[in-house]
Amino acid sequence: RFAAAMLGLSLGEAAFLAENIRGGILSVPRGQQEAAAACGLTPRKTFTRIVFPQAIRVILPAYGNSLISQVKN
């Protein structure tokens, strides 16, 4: 029972955190990706050098709140 409960809670929290990441990535304006493509960057370089650094500013506070919530629980 304990293992099943831990698995269920872990999957639920993982889904919630994945939504935080998705929201952070979608918060970066599409024009940033278009500008990077116009400069000749590959999709991978566009993500690692343009999108991710901007998205991490949105993702980190939400992750911090989730960590505090987990510690409290």
Q: Are 44 and 13 in contact (CB under 8 A)?
A: no
Residue 63: the pLDDT is 92
Residue 70: the pLDDT is 82
> How far apart are the C-alpha atoms of 21 and 61, rounded to whole Å?
11
Q: Are 41 and 50 in contact (CB under 8 A)?
A: yes
pLDDT 10s digits, 27-56: 999 999 999 999 999 999 999 999 999 999
Q: What are phi and psi of 60, to 5 degrees?
A: -60, -45
Average pLDDT over residues 13-18: 91
- The model carries a pTM of 0.80
Residue 12: the pLDDT is 86
> How far apart are the C-alpha atoms of 57 and 69, rounded to whole Å?
20
Q: Are 30 and 55 in contact (CB under 8 A)?
A: no
pLDDT tier, 13 (very low <50, low <70, confident <90, very high otherwise): confident
